[in-house]
Amino acid sequence: MMAVLRNSAWSTIGELGKTTMFGCEVVGNLLRYGTPFRGLLLQMYVVGVRSISTTVFTGFFVGAIMAIQIHLQLRDFGAQAFLGGLSASVTLRNVGPLLIAFILSGKVGAYTTAELGTMQVTDQISAIRCLGMDPIRYLVAPRFLAVVVSSFLLLVIGLMTAIGGGALIAALDLGVNTLNYVQNIPTIVTGWSILTGVAKSFVFGVIIAAVSCYRGYTTRNGASGVGENVKSASVQTLVTIIIADFALSNWIGGLMDFCTEVLGW
Amino acid sequence: MVTAIGAHTLRILSHPVEIAYFFTQFLKLLARQLGTGRFRFRQTVDQLYSVGVESAGVIFFSIGVVSLILVLEFSFHMKLVLHQDSLVPAFSTVLLIRELGPVVTALLLVSRVGAGLAAEIATMKITDQIDALRLLSIEPFDYLVVPRWIAVWLAAVLLTILSIGVAILGGATIAAIKLGYGFGEYFNSMFTFSHFSDLIGCIIKASVFGNLLPLIACYHGFKAKPGSEGVGMAATSAVVEGSIVVILADFVVTYLFYTL
């Protein structure tokens, strides 16, 4: 039992390390050679623009769900005036980035893994190497950059939609009119909360890109290997996102305390 | 233009209809298995092991970390609004039972199990194993889908309840370390706002998710196109559609259960 646990813990940590090294290699490649702009735009269209409707849809419902839940808790105190601020803040800082990143890890991450994995098992990547080109530079680097940029932008779009979704369900069903809802938001949501949401979005974008490119690029064992790698890529993305979420919450909270208490901003 | 709109509409509409047909097939075969007393008990237990036991570690770890974030964030908000954080255990437990426990477990199951099921069945399909089953006059749907379905359903409900327990322990630990609560204090004030009906709501949510997830995963597995591209696409669309449906079903169940 303990041996199994220890082995699985070591292999998980090993996978994380390999993913990080692969990510560093791709970033180094990007810094050294850059990437063709047209290829980047094409990739951003494929992974980004096509996911907008999914993200907006998800963000809307995440905001609505959080508004209902916070409303249920505040109702017992008669403190519905705080609904706007609290649900926007919880959505922006914490639940929103987490749940929307979960969806994007499927929509953007699993798609990239499946695509690169199919190229790998059908020997297209070896073919590119035979032509004397570097597959990391021509295939992985533009995808990596495109996934980082578009996940970040999609998460920010999703968070904005979530606030809209919360306001709409509050006005339609919970009896808090939109003006009160929106006016209450700045009393609780500060610049630090927005910074937390945006920083989390960026880090989650990097995680999705690194894990999905690494998993796709190292696919083996034919068709069943592609399926297996899509599965493990999405699980690994989810777990890494959750850990990063905790770390970022902690660090940005600490930074905020430092700035307000020590520097007096 | 008109043709394009028509084709698009048909494609969008045919999807839920096919999934609904899939569901009726499942119910019919399950009724037949139970009615003739030939319930595939062994396969179900095997699947329950591979779905439930093997996903348990990942799910418990993740929900534990989520509960740490939740308690810290709640303490931040409580200090902002009420200028004290004595209600953190009660509020975070309520949100955990009603919302985050079932949803995070379901989303993790979607990627761990949904993608796995879709990839497994798609691989079987493109390597002609499903046709081989038909040749042996075993109904593939009966043999492959029904045991997995029951296993995922049971696993979703059980894992959700267990993961809420893990999350409460995690929350109590971080509250003891960071916020200066005693364990006894935390457990005492934990259930101030949660009722028994919240647990029922949580089980209803989990079993709705547990039914939708194998439905979508197996559907995409059976519809897979040939080649390794098809397997990748099947797994991808199982994850994407599964997670969207989980969020949507969460909204519907929350709305019906709590606001009506």
CA atoms within 13 A on the CB side of B109: 36
Contact in structure between B54 and A230 (CB atoms under 8 Å): no
Report CB contact under 8 Å: B243, A106: yes
What number is the average pLDDT over the span A138-148? 87
The amino acid at A238: L
Main-chain phi, psi angles of B194, to 5 degrees: -90, 145
What number is the average pLDDT over the span B175-184? 84
* Residue-level pLDDT at A33: 82
Confidence of residue A265 (pLDDT cuts 50, 70, 90): low
* Closest Cβ–Cβ partner in B95, B231, B232 for A69: B95
Q: Is the pLDDT of residue A189 over 80?
A: yes
Confidence of residue A72 (pLDDT cuts 50, 70, 90): confident
Contact in structure between A86 and B73 (CB atoms under 8 Å): no
Q: Does A12 touch chain B (CB under 8 A)?
A: no
Q: Which residues of A touch B72 (CB under 8 A)?
A: 249-250, 253
Q: Is the pLDDT of residue B162 over 90?
A: yes
CA A9, chain centre distance (Å): 24
What number is the average pLDDT over the span A163-169? 90
Nearest CA to B44 among B33, B36, B35, B55?
A: B33
Measured torsion, CA atoms of residues A76, A81, A84, A89, in degrees rounded to the nearest 10: -70
- DSSP assignment of B224-237 equals PPSSHHHHHHHHHH
Contact in structure between B147 and B193 (CB atoms under 8 Å): no
A window 133-162, beta carbon within 8 A of B? none
* Residue-level pLDDT at A203: 92
What number is the average pLDDT over the span A56-70? 89
Q: To the nearest whole percent, how much of chain A has pLDDT over 70? A: 99
Report CB contact under 8 Å: A90, B77: yes
Alpha-carbon span B236 to A227, nearest angstrom? 9
A18 against B35, higher pLDDT: A18
Q: Is the pLDDT of residue B37 over 80?
A: no
* Residue-level pLDDT at A230: 85
DSSP state of A90: H
Q: Does A98 touch chain B (CB under 8 A)?
A: yes
Q: What is the CA radius of gyration of chain B?
A: 21
Nearest CA to A101 among A46, A147, A146?
A: A147
* Residue-level pLDDT at B73: 84
Q: What are the pLDDT digits (tens) for A151-165?
A: 899 999 999 999 999
What number is the average pLDDT over the span A28-51? 84
ipTM of the complex as predicted: 0.85
Whole-prediction pTM value?
Answer: 0.88
Q: Is the pLDDT of residue A93 over 70?
A: yes
Kindly report the average pLDDT of chain A as a whole number. Answer: 85
Closest residue in A to B249 (Cα) is A61
Q: What are the pLDDT digits (tens) for B45-77?
A: 888 888 888 888 889 988 999 998 888 888 888
Report CB contact under 8 Å: A242, B62: yes
* Closest Cβ–Cβ partner in A54, A222, A239 for B62: A239
